[in-house]
Chain A
Amino acid sequence: MDIFNPAFWIFIAILAGIYTILSLGLYVQFSLAGLPNFGHVAFMAVASYTMAILVVRYSVSLPVASALGVAAAIGLGLVMGIPSLRLRADYLAIATVAGGEIVRYLAMNFPEFTGGPLGSIGLQGPGQIASYNAEWQSLLDRIAAALSAIVGAAATRDLAMAMLVWSVAVLLLFLFWQLERSPWGRVLKAIREDETAVTAVGKNVFAFKLQALVLGAALGAVAGLLLAWQIGVFSPDDYQPTLTFYAYLILILGGMNRLWAIPVGAVAFSLLYSGTRFLNFFPLSLIDSGSRAFLRLFLVGLLLVLFMALRPQGMLGNRRELLLEK
C-alpha cells in the first residue's frame, strides 16, 4: 500500500475515528473530572468480549449483544469506581491499572469461555472458527451499496465503516461538547481543580465522579465495539495497556483541555502510527521492515516527551490556562 492509495487514507480515517471516541471517554474522565484512569482499555475489552460471546455462543442479536456489552463496561466502571472514588485520586489510578490487567488475564486464562489466547476465533471451542461479525458486515454492505449510487466503485465496506465511525464520533463530540458547557460540566471541571472546595459549596462530589467514570466507560465500550467489528477477530493481545496510553497521547497531542482538539490529536496519532511504514528510505531502508515497525513505538514515545517539554498545551491547547497552578 502506498501513500497515494485511497485505501490507506480510509484506513487512517477509521482508526482515527475509533480513537477519537476512545479518547473522548478518557477526556470526560481525566480532562473534565480529573480522574486518572489508566485502564481505559479494559472497557473496550469487556464490551468486545461480552458482545462477541453473546453473539457466538448464545445467538443474541447484534444490537442487543452490543447494548449488553456497553452495559458490562459500565458495570466494570462501577466496580472500579465505587470503592475507590471516595478516596484520593491515586486509588482510582491503582484500581484502573489493576482492573485493566485483570480483564486481559481473565480473557487469556478462561479459554472455555473467552477463547483464551486464540481470542474470538476460538469462542466455539477448538476446531471451529467462530465469527461475531456477520451482521455487522451485512450492515456495512448495505451502506456501501447505498453509497455506490453516489461514489460508484469507490464505495467499499471500509468507506462505509469510515463514514459510520465518523458520524458516531462527531455526534458524540457534539453531545459531550454541550455537556461540557452545561452546569454539569462546570461541576466536573471544578472537581478536577479542587474537590474539597466543591464539597464545601454543597455538591456531592462522589456522585459526579461516578457519572464521569461511567460515561467514559460507555464511550470506551463504543470504541471497543467499533474496533472489534473493524478488525473482525480479536484476542487478549489487542487490549494491551499501551492502548490506554495512546488515548492519553491523543489528548496531549491535541491539547489537554480542548474537546475539539481530540479528533485533531486522533488523526495526528493515526498518521504517525501508520505512517511509519513509509519510513523505507535510506538510511532507514537498511533496517528490515519488521524492525522498522518498532520505530513507531520509539517515535510515539519521542513525540510524547517532546510535546511535554516544548508544547505542554498540545497543538490547540491554552498554554496560559495550563501553566496556572492549582
Chain B
Amino acid sequence: MSPPLLEVHGVSKHFGGVAAVSDAAFSVAERSITALIGPNGAGKTTMFNLISGFLRPEGGTIRFADRRIDGLRGDVIARAGLVRAFQTARVLTRMSVLDNMLLAAKHQPGERLGMGWIAPRRVAEREREIRERAHEVLDLVRLRPLAGDYAGTLSGGQRKLLELGRALMVEPRMILLDEPMAGVAPVLAEQLLDHIRQLRERQGVTVFVIEHDMDVVMSISERVIVMDEGRVIADGSPEAIQNDERVIEAYLGRSSGSDADPGRAAGHRP
C-alpha cells in the first residue's frame, strides 16, 4: 500500500453540546479511492469541512502531503492540492459553464489587480492556456457543448459534473466528494462513477468520497472508513466492513441507543 496522503489524528468538533466529530483518526492512502460512510448525522460532512478548512478542528492534527493543514484557511488548503466538492453542487449560476471552469485555474496573473495593464502578454498567455485546459476537462465531463450556457441552466447531475470538472482545474492531488451520486439521474451517475475511476487511473488523483449507496461504495472504493456518532468505528476493505459487527449495529440500530433521537441527525449536519 502506498504511503498515506492524508492523516487525521485526534480531531474533534463540537456544535454547542453536540460532539459532531470526536477524536477521529484515520488516514487515506495516496492514489486510493477511499469511501467515508456512516448513518445520517454520523459527522461525515463535518469531517470533510474540518479537512478542507471550512471548519476549524478543536484538537488533533490533520496532515496532507506531510504538511500540517489543520487551522489553515480553506483556500490555502485547496491551493495545496486538496480540493473539495459539495453535497449540493455549488456552481456559479449566473456565470457561464466555461467561466466556472476558468475561475478555478491556478496561477492566474490576471487575478492581480491591474496586471492586465502591467503585463498584458503574460495575462493573455495564461488565459489561453487555461481556456485550452478547461475545454479538455469539459470534454472529459461531457459538458463541452454547454460551455457557453449559464451554469444556472444545468440540471442537478450536470452541475455535479461541472463541479467535478471545476475541482480538476485546481490540479488537485486529492479530491473530496460529498455524495457525488445524490440526486443524479442514473445515466449520469454511471458516467460520474466512470470519471471518478478515471481520475485515479489516468491522473493519479486520490479520491475520498462520502457515499450512501452501498453498491457504489463497494464497486469503486478499495477502502472504507465508517463513522457513527462522530467517531470512526471501523476502517478496512469493503468486504471486511460489510461483515463488521459495529458497522451493522450502527446502520441497523442497537437494542437501546440514541439512534432513535430525531434531533440528532439534524444537529450533526453543518
Asked whether, in the complex, the Cβ of A199 is within 8 Å of the Cβ of B93, the reply is no
Asked whether, in the complex, the Cβ of B110 is within 8 Å of the Cβ of A182, the reply is yes
Choose, from A108-116, A184-192, A225-233, A300-308, the stretch at the interface: A184-192
With contact pairs A183-B111, A184-B112, A186-B102 given, residues A201 and B83 touching in the complex (Cβ less than 8 Å):
yes
Asked whether, in the complex, the Cβ of A201 is within 8 Å of the Cβ of B170, the reply is yes
Question: Which chain B positions have C-beta within 8 A of A189?
Answer: 92, 94-95, 99
Question: Which chain B positions have C-beta within 8 A of A202?
Answer: 75-76, 78-79, 83, 104, 106, 170
| Cβ 8 A contact of A325, one of B93, B127, B167 | B93
Contact with A along B90-111 (1 / 0, CB 8 A): 1111110001101110101111
Q: Does B73 contact A (CB under 8 A)?
A: yes
Asked whether, in the complex, the Cβ of A194 is within 8 Å of the Cβ of B83, the reply is no
Number of interface residues of B (CB under 8 A): 43
Contact with B along A17-41 (1 / 0, CB 8 A): 0000000000000000000000000
Question: Which chain A positions have C-beta within 8 A of B91?
Answer: 194, 197
A-side interface size class: 20 to 34
Q: How many residue pairs between the two chains, A and B, have CB atoms under 8 Å in the bound complex?
A: 105
Question: Which chain A positions have C-beta within 8 A of B76?
Answer: 202
> Closest CB-CB distance, B162 to chain A, in whole Å?
11
Asked whether, in the complex, the Cβ of A190 is within 8 Å of the Cβ of B95, the reply is yes
**Measured between alpha carbons, how far is A173 from B152 in the docked complex, in Å?**
28
Within 8 A of B (CB), among A162-221: 178-179, 182-184, 186-187, 189-190, 193-194, 196-205, 211, 215
Per DSSP, chain A at the interface is: helix
Question: Which chain A positions have C-beta within 8 A of B74?
Answer: 199-200
Q: Does A153 contact B (CB under 8 A)?
A: no
Contact with A along B109-129 (1 / 0, CB 8 A): 111111111000001000100
Question: Which chain A positions have C-beta within 8 A of B173?
Answer: none
Q: Does A321 contact B (CB under 8 A)?
A: yes
Name 24 A/B residue pairs within 8 A (Cβ), A-sorted.
A178-B117, A179-B114, A179-B116, A182-B110, A183-B111, A186-B99, A186-B103, A189-B99, A193-B95, A199-B54, A200-B74, A200-B78, A201-B78, A201-B83, A201-B103, A201-B167, A201-B169, A202-B75, A202-B104, A204-B73, A204-B75, A205-B75, A211-B113, A326-B94
If A197-B90, A199-B73 are given as contacts, then 14 extra A-B residue pairs at C-beta distance below 8 Å, sorted by A number, are A182-B110, A184-B115, A186-B103, A190-B103, A194-B92, A199-B75, A200-B74, A200-B78, A201-B78, A201-B83, A202-B83, A205-B75, A324-B153, A326-B94
